[in-house]
Each structure stands twice: as structure tokens, then as C-alpha cells.
């Protein structure tokens, strides 16, 4: 433990280092030392030590003034995705689902208060990087969020509902805790969730849960469709059976694989 002290068991240097990595974004692809210090809430001396450590490890590069992340950072997210291994396992079923419904489909997991995309099959060949793997959306106005919230324990759901920050994203967005709880209960009872233009006008989405071998909801599978190409009724009649079937296949494949 030479040269490594901290309060209790918590490693503050690690926390701060991860916060520095997260400070970079599309809006801030490169940052100066003082910008990093300000954004993360560190002294310049601490920010400097973290940036130099990250540079030495190959996660950050600098021209002397501006710092930016390197592709090595992808190895961190990749560790999660490959350990989840859901994309590869679910891929063929998602392909089938997308072909059968002619709509794009996705898998997301929960990282409260958000859902995080872990696999996606777009309909057209247009690359929608904006909703690619790793993209995040708030849980409350999305169909995948609803079925994932339905998989929480009741105390976890209580905490989420008590603390959630909602926004009236469209005139249809459910923002009250009691109505959202009812929608989540409904999703649990139904085994799926339909969300009709609550995230974005013109977008309807249908999701079903994926379970691990212990019966816990670990992910959600969805199909989303332009409102112009669907009605809630047509989604339930024509798309829902395919979604439920694919989610079931993925659940079975997960069981056979064992982990998660």
C-alpha cells in the first residue's frame, strides 16, 4: 500500500480520476487543466496529478495546454459490454425481431435514474449514433424504463419515485409519481409496457423484460416506431407478440449461458 493513503477504505483518487474522465464530452472534447479543475471541483494541483496520471496510463493526451481522451478509454466501457455479453447473445433474436416488425429494436439496462443502451439494431442503414450503445435516456418516459422499473424491489421503486426529476417532454409525458407508479404496476402485471409519445412526439415504443436465471429483470427489449406508421392498437396486435417472443428467447438463451 506504499504511497496510497485515503480516508477509510474509500479511494478518493480513484473517484476523482473517474470524474475527470466523465468531464469530457461532445460539448467539451478537450479541456485545459483549469477547466477540468473547475468542472470536477478540484484544486488545480489535484487536477494536474490526475491528468498526468491518466496521460501516463495512455487514457489522456495533451498538447501541453489542452487535454483530451484517447481510444484507450473505450477499453473501460468495453469491459462492461463484453462482460454483459448480451449484444452477441441477443443479436440474432434482435435481427429477427427487427426484420419481422420492420422497426428498429434495442436492449437497455437500468442505471438509475437512466436507462443505458447496450445493443441496438436500427431499421434503416442510417447510423443513429446518437442512440448507439452507451446512450442514456431518463427511465420514466420510456417503455424500456417502465419494464425495468417494474423489476425493482418495492423499496427501490419507492426511492426512485421519491427522488425522480421529471420534465414535461411532450404534452403526454407522465410526470407525477402516483401516475408513474400506476404505469409501472401495469407494466409488471402485463409483462410489457407501451409508451405513446411521452419521450418525443411521433415516437411510440413497446418493451418487454429480459430475465436472468434467478428471475430478476436484467434488461429490456424494445421496438420503437414512428407514430405515423402505427397506432397503439396496431403495435399491440402486430408488434407485441414478436417482442414478447424475442424477449422470451433471449431470457432462455441467458439461462442456458448461466451467468448474469
Closest C-alpha to 46, from 78, 73, 12: 12
Contact at 8 Å (CB) between 107 and 120?
yes
The DSSP element (H or E) to which 84 belongs, if any, is helix 74-84
How far apart are alpha carbons 18 and 38 in whole angstroms? 15
Q: Does residue number 58 form part of the binding site for a second copy (CB under 8 A)?
A: yes
Task: Among 39, 81, 172, 227, indicate the residue that binds a second copy (CB under 8 A).
Answer: 81
- Sequence-distant (6+) residues with CB within 8 A of 179 are none
Tell me: does residue 83 bind a second copy (CB under 8 A): yes
Q: For residue 137, state whether it binds a second copy (rule: CB under 8 A).
A: no
Task: Check if the beta carbon of residue 251 is closer than 8 Å to that of residue 210.
Answer: yes
Q: Which of 41, 44, 102, 136 binds a second copy (CB under 8 A)?
A: 136
Nearer to a second copy, 81 or 177 (CB): 81
Residue number, 76 or 182, with CB nearest to a second copy: 76
Neighbours of 131 (CB within 10 A): 16
Establish if 127 lies at the interface with a second copy (CB under 8 A): yes
Contacting residue, 3, 64, 171, 215, with a second copy by CB under 8 A = 3
Greatest distance between any 2 Cα atoms in the chain: 65
The interface region with a second copy, picked from 114-122, 179-187, 198-206, 241-249 by CB under 8 A, is 114-122
User: How far is C-alpha 70 from the chain's CA centre?
Assistant: 22
Select the residue interacting with a second copy from 73, 177, 245, 253 (CB under 8 A): 73
SS3 135: coil
Residue 47 beta carbon to a second copy: minimum distance, rounded to whole angstroms: 11
64: contact with a second copy by CB under 8 A: no
Q: According to CB under 8 A, which one of 97, 118, 195, 243 is a site residue for a second copy?
A: 118
The correct pick among 32, 35, 49, 186 for binding a second copy (CB under 8 A) is 49
Amino acid at each position: 500500500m506504499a504511497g496510497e493513503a485515503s480516508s477509510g477504505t474509500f479511494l478518493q483518487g480513484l473517484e476523482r480520476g473517474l470524474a475527470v474522465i466523465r468531464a469530457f464530452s461532445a460539448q467539451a472534447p478537450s479541456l485545459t487543466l483549469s477547466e477540468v479543475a473547475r468542472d470536477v471541483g478540484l484544486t488545480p494541483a489535484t487536477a494536474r496529478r490526475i491528468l498526468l496520471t491518466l496521460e501516463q496510463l495512455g487514457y489522456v493526451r495533451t498538447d501541453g495546454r489542452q487535454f483530451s481522451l484517447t481510444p484507450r478509454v473505450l477499453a473501460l466501457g468495453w469491459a462492461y459490454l463484453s462482460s454483459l455479453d448480451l449484444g452477441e447473445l441477443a443479436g440474432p433474436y434482435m435481427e429477427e425481431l427487427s426484420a419481422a416488425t420492420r422497426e428498429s429494436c434495442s436492449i437497455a439496462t437500468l442505471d438509475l435514474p437512466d436507462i443505458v443502451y447496450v445493443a441496438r439494431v436500427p431499421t434503416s442503414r442510417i447510423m443513429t449514433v446518437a442512440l448507439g450503445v452507451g446512450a442514456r435516456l431518463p427511465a420514466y418516459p420510456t417503455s424500456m424504463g417502465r419494464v425495468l422499473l417494474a423489476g425493482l424491489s418495492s423499496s427501490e421503486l419507492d426511492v426512485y419515485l421519491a427522488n425522480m426529476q421529471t420534465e414535461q417532454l411532450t404534452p403526454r409525458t407522465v410526470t407525477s409519481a402516483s401516475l408513474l407508479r400506476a404505469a409501472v404496476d401495469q407494466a409488471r402485471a402485463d409483462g410489457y409496457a407501451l409508451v405513446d409519445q411521452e419521450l418525443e412526439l411521433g415516437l411510440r415504443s413497446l418493451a418487454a423484460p429480459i430475465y436472468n436465471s434467478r428471475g430478476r429483470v436484467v434488461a429490456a427489449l424494445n421496438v420503437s416506431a414512428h407514430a405515423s406508421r402505427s397506432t397503439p392498437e396496431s403495435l399491440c396486435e402486430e408488434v407485441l407478440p414478436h417482442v414478447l417472443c424475442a424477449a422470451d428467447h433471449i431470457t432462455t438463451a441467458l439461462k442456458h449461458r448461466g451467468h448474469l
